[in-house]
Structure 1
């Protein structure tokens, strides 16, 4: 774990030198934005307090390593800005947010590129999420950060009961695509009570098409799903966002 923390410190030293990218917020001014120590935000990415007294969480990212371990030994004292992505607090009184460096560049890319976080699609624009997923793929290829510590991608046949309710990445081949009036099903086995199913609500189909997914040609393709593994008579992942589905072939 110490090498991981040292690596994190190295990544954060570079804050402030990032170039503009598709995830940067246009025409953001630091005026009125609250601040937080980056150590504190990464120590508790699911709920941290900023200088305005409000609570935030890091949007569109998840941290497989224990959150407290990420920031437990950090002492850089680097301050960053906090920008809420929406004005409405969730049931736990939190606002989804991103961290901005002193040049107003989003730090999500640095965290993903350094293998410190996994993309968890939620609120970011399609082009931003595609960019982050590409950075994640590159970090995985280079075996940096969490991609060295453990393999966070599972073949669906290796999924255990202990993973129910957890967010994860699963790779599998689509054997068929089913359709009802309300849902589209990506089937990964013959028995839906035992084999994994990806579920897409009808109201989300336009988003998948806009993102570039043609579900009609998914049969026989190997894909990567990201989401919460649920058990509803059979194992399933509901794909609420098109960035939760990646075509690997």
Structure 2
């Protein structure tokens, strides 16, 4: 995080930085001490810190989040609220991933939904690919099921209240059965491995590329 002269605490938004890259992030933030930066605040985290796109003067129009993602020191993690420059961040991440830059291929990697023991990675960013076997619905949540054993297999939980506000062009949970998707989010251990999806950019249709 970065504290401005006015006492405002800024957090680079829209990204996940794994523990292995925290020292590199700290170094980047330290380099900004005493420097003039631009920033755009678009919300706050649960601690009251301002989620922002921070623009170091050395980088022109490129945000600090984009620098981190481009170096392979972090991956895109859309916030529950809209993240500015999200398509550009995803494009930059794709380039870093394809080039195996930074932590890609080691700490950061794409996993398959059928992999056993996905839940052992709880607390880390999950980039999970697989085919949705079925879709379950309750009054509060949609569930994308990637296996027949709901107590053990990978699942994506989508709050109904959030999916209802995703807008045109966003994935429709009920239409994802049988589709191959890539899901991103924090992995949890809950009846197997679980990702909660609040933002439409967390779910990407990839079967059209097959």
- Coarse TM-score class (shorter-chain normalised): 0.7 to 0.9
> 2 CA distance for matches of 1:74 and 1:151?
20
TM-score (norm 2): 0.79
Q: Please name the residue that 1:130 is paired with.
A: 87
CA shift in 2, pair 1:66/1:211, >3 Å: farther
In the alignment, which of 110, 113, 118 is matched to residue 75 of structure 2? 118
The answer (yes or no) to whether the contact 1:193–1:235 under 8 Å persists in 2 is: no
Structure 1 SS opposite 2:178? coil
* Partner SS state of residue 147, structure 1: coil
1:75–1:226 Cα change, 3 Å:
closer
Which residue of 2 is the match for residue 8 of structure 1? none
Per the alignment, residue 233 of structure 1 pairs with 191
Q: From the superposition, tell whether residues 131 and 210 of structure 1 become closer, same or farther in structure 2 (CA, over 3 Å).
A: farther
Contact kept? 2:129, 2:181, Cα under 8 Å: yes
Aligned residues: 201
Structure-2 residue corresponding to 1:206 = 164
Could you tell me the TM-score, scaled by structure 1's length?
0.68
> Which residue of the partner structure matches residue 39 of structure 1?
none
CA RMSD of aligned residues (A): 2.9
d(CA) in 2 for partners of 1:158 and 1:190? 14
1:176 maps to 2:134: yes
Q: Deviations over 1:22-70 (max 9, x none)?
A: xxxxxxxxxxxxxxxxxxxxxxxxx332332332211111112534421
- Report the Cα distance in structure 1 between the residues aligned to 2:185 and 2:130, rounded to whole angstroms: 14
Matched residues in 2 for 1:149 and 1:197: separation? 24
| Structure 1: unaligned runs, 5 residues or longer | 1-46
What are structure 2's unaligned runs of at least 5 residues? none
Alignment of 1:1-249 (within 5 A): 47-71=1-25, 77=31, 79-86=35-42, 90-102=45-57, 105-107=61-63, 108-122=65-79, 123-125=81-83, 128-156=85-113, 157-249=115-207
Deviations 1:120-154 (A, max 9, x none): 1014447x322321221122112222215444222
State which structure, 1 or 2, has the greater radius of gyration over its C-alpha atoms. Answer: 1
- More strand by percentage: 2
